[in-house]
Chains A and B, each alone.
Chain A
């Protein structure tokens, strides 16, 4: 390895064949470059998708209802199923220790919201205080709803940033009164949501107030839950799947729905969605590795070809060396050394180039599905190992051929 003589020889052949070595190196360098960039983009997609899921609490379960599709116990299909407050209360009580946040949602349809001359149609919902955390909302001004608002049927409202901008322009909305379908509510807070404008376009009132004022009786439209966090993704996924199926069963019993009816009760399990995305990500990552490795293989074949030519060119020299006492192994090592050296240097250039590109350009990429593409140290290390192996592979056949050169044939004068 630290044999001066051999290094000298390698540099000598490289110096004599600058263009050839450069082109060979280029194929390896671009192979590694493409691999690392692909992996970086893969990582970026993963980051981006993770960011998408951060809009709501990551392990949220969201329940909504529809119509029954199957006849059951003498009841016709097509019945409208509506959740009741008791459904929520029973569930909350039953899973008290498993649940982190929980909220029922009563939706007020056609919620026209008016402040002085400004008005707009927004999604108005009666919710519980936990809903702030379920939606991942944070307050920019004032406070969120609390339990005393709920218990006292307070006519208070928190509004999204967008709503505040629409109705109040630059004025401070806190303490002002706005009308929802003609009924006055006092604004107590303005929230912002990582989900962006779509989720800031909402207005929340206390659940109890909403049900009473808008004639909701004891009906609710949705329920949202998060489970206590688990140590790892698999455990969390298992827990949420279990909760989801138990909840479904319970609600079906409560509302006399056939067990096989999949339309009446719907539970959106965000973890399961996440898992699907993560699985997809893993597939994409796998694919990227495949493409990258194939590119590198093309590079290896290039190096291998060049080494074969070099061996061919040096046939006579190798013959001389053997006549002077070079053992076959030393010839093999000589060829392998050169091929590993060329691959490693070219590969490192590709690696450093791609890392630099990811480092410089990566943070600037801001699209929905790619965020901060980067590769970690482990991946970089893996590619370096791939390089060394690639170099050895590329050199193996030429080296084998070189070792088999018979000096008597090589030395025969033309």
Chain B
């Protein structure tokens, strides 16, 4: 699903150049649930941004679902993001003045889907994350866990190839974190490829594979026995 070869990325700050990614080679097969770990400054967020087409690598190749991702202009990047990727953020990033339902329907809006159809689809995904009753509520009326579940429903709405989650439990307490992870595991079991960036070990343990990043290189990449989040809920 994802193939990355010899990926380099550096940032220029004034006269200094900061080499963040120093040759990443990394493949993800369909249906995997991978966590990317590393301390801050290890380059894990940069990697996720490049995977998410929010940023472009200096060199190296990136192939997503057999589509080479390179030389993107904003318009094409937007289209690819909409088609291939679903984002889950640490701070949820829901749009405050829209209801949960409208938030979930937003990616479908950018696909050009008719309002009636996209609201039906959005409702189905809200149902999947167990928030049917909260469809007409605004984000500020929801708890953190509920917000993240709305965000997950939104990420799923456009039926993407890959879900990219950046510290999805970073703003949640332990119990809620496990609830969210339980949901993510269930979505993965339906066959969807998911990448999670996290620095929490217990969260990483709940994925099927842990990739460790340090100073811009992968130092460790191992399959793990998945801990089911269900047992903590």
Contact = CB atoms under 8 A, between A and B. Distances in A.
A155 interface: no
B91 A5 contact: no
A13 B102 CA distance: 16
A325 to B, nearest CB: 2
A322 to B, nearest CB: 6
A324 B81 contact: yes
A158 B118 CA distance: 89
Nearest to B170: A413
Contacts of A413: 90-91
B148 to A, nearest CB: 14
Instruction: Give the one of B79, B83, B110 with max A CB within 10 A.
Output: B110
B95 A317 contact: yes
Interface in A388-414: 406-408, 411, 413
Instruction: Give the one of A5, A16, A321, A323 with max B CB within 10 A.
Output: A323
Given A5-B115, A408-B54, A326 B110 contact: yes
Nearest to A319: B93
Contact of A324 (B74, B90, B97, B154): B154
A267 B126 CA distance: 91
A12 interface: yes
Contacts of B110: 321, 324-327, 330
Nearest to B52: A323
Nearest to B158: A325
Interface in A328-381: 328-330
A251 interface: no
Interface in B9-44: none
Given A325-B107, A408-B55, A411-B54, A320 B93 contact: yes
Per DSSP, chain B at the interface is: helix
Instruction: Give the one of A5, A12, A321, A325 with max B CB within 10 A.
Output: A325
A316 interface: yes
Interface string B91-124: 1010101000010001101110001000000000
Given A12-B97, A321-B106, A327 B89 contact: no
Interface residues of B, number: 27
B82 A324 contact: yes
A323 B115 CA distance: 20
A6 B201 CA distance: 42
Contact of B54 (A9, A329, A330, A407): A407
Instruction: Give the one of B49, B74, B75, B110 with max A CB within 10 A.
Output: B74
Contacts of B89: 411
B87 interface: yes
Interface in B62-89: 74-75, 78-79, 81-83, 87, 89
A104 to B, nearest CB: 84
A1 interface: no
Given A5-B115, A329-B75, A411-B89, A324 B54 contact: no
Interface string A216-252: 0000000000000000000000000000000000000
Contacts of B55: 408
B75 A328 contact: yes
Nearest to B151: A320
Contacts of B95: 317, 320-321
Contact of B81 (A4, A9, A325, A406): A325
Interface in B153-194: 154, 158
Contacts of A322: 74, 78, 81
Contacts of A16: 97
A311 to B, nearest CB: 15
A324 B106 contact: yes
Contacts of B79: 325, 327
A328 B78 contact: yes
A325 B78 contact: yes
A325 B55 CA distance: 14
Contacts of A319: 93
Interface of A: 4-5, 9, 12-13, 16, 316-317, 319-330, 406-408, 411, 413
Given A322-B74, A324-B82, A325-B79, 8 more contacts: A324-B107, A324-B110, A325-B83, A326-B110, A328-B74, A330-B110, A411-B54, A413-B90
Interface of B: 49, 52, 54-55, 74-75, 78-79, 81-83, 87, 89-91, 93, 95, 97, 102, 106-107, 109-111, 115, 154, 158
6 contacts: A5-B109, A325-B82, A325-B107, A325-B111, A407-B54, A408-B49
What are the 10 closest A-B residue pairs judged by CB atoms, nearest first?
A: A325-B82, A325-B110, A408-B54, A12-B97, A327-B78, A324-B107, A320-B93, A327-B75, A328-B74, A407-B54
